[in-house]
Every structure is written in structure tokens, then in C-alpha cells.
């Protein structure tokens, strides 16, 4: 059973520091701040993104589609997906091809959080 997990800016910046390998400081801190707000979003006291896959997808979509790092946006977005799902109690260990599939999805101009959530659901061990 997964739990409802919300992350903050410091968590995203720590992931970016670890996964971004020598990427300089973020160009636009508004992007990770927006990602934090987006994955926590509620409308009429109901979560906009219900469940860990949807919340992970909201984080990944914002971090992966909006440029905020000089060269490691996709790497950080993919790492956030893995770490968020694992921290939510959903153990995932995606293959190289599954990570490449997520990167391809993020490059697609038709990419949505819903499409990312469906892709993340295929990562089950």
C-alpha cells in the first residue's frame, strides 16, 4: 500500500544536486517551486493528482518539460520519478529502456501528466 507523500523544494534540489552531476546552479528556481505546488494541488479540498503515480507524473512533467537546469533536466526528472515512487512505498527499478521511454515522452510536445502517469505504472518490478 502506498502512502500520500508530498515533497518540498529542498528535496528536489537535493535530487538535482545528486543526479545533475556538476550541473551549475538552477537557471530558474520557479520551475521546481511550481512542481512542488503542482503535485500538492487541490481543488475543493480534493487532490488534483490522486495517488502516487499521478503526483510523480505532475512533478516529472513540470521538471522535465520546463527548462530549469543547464544540461540535466531529463536526468533529474527521471531520478525524481524513481525516488518519489520508491519513497511513496512503490518499489521501482526501471530499465535503461524504460528511462529512455520516459525521456522520449518528455520530448513529445503532446506530453501530459496523465500520459506520464500511465508510463510510470508500467515500471512495476
pLDDT at 71: 85
Q: What is the predicted pLDDT for the residue at 112?
A: 96
Asked if residue 69 has pLDDT above 70, the reply is: yes
pLDDT at 1: 42
pTM, to two decimals: 0.91
Structural domains of the chain ordered from first start: 9-121 (1.20.120)
Judge whether 122 and 99 are in contact, CB under 8 Å.
no
The stretch 3-32 carries a mean pLDDT of 85
Confidence grade of residue 113 (pLDDT, cut at 50, 70, 90): very high
Average pLDDT over residues 9-37: 88
Average of pLDDT values for 57-84?
A: 93
Q: What is the mean pLDDT of the chain?
A: 90
Q: Mean per-residue pLDDT for 98-124?
A: 95
What pLDDT does residue 2 have? 44
Amino acid at each position: 500500500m502506498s502512502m500520500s507523500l508530498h515533497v518540498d523544494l529542498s528535496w528536489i534540489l537535493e535530487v538535482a544536486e545528486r543526479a545533475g552531476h556538476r550541473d551549475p546552479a538552477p537557471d530558474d528556481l520557479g520551475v521546481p517551486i511550481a512542481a512542488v505546488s503542482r503535485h500538492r494541488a487541490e481543488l475543493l479540498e480534493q487532490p488534483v493528482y490522486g495517488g502516487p503515480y499521478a503526483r510523480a507524473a505532475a512533478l516529472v512533467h513540470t521538471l522535465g518539460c520546463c527548462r530549469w537546469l543547464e544540461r540535466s533536466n531529463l536526468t533529474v526528472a527521471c531520478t525524481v520519478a524513481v525516488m518519489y515512487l520508491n519513497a511513496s512505498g512503490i518499489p521501482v527499478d526501471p530499465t535503461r529502456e524504460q528511462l529512455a521511454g520516459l525521456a522520449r515522452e518528455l520530448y513529445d510536445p503532446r506530453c501530459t501528466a496523465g500520459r506520464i502517469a500511465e508510463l510510470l505504472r508500467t515500471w512495476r518490478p
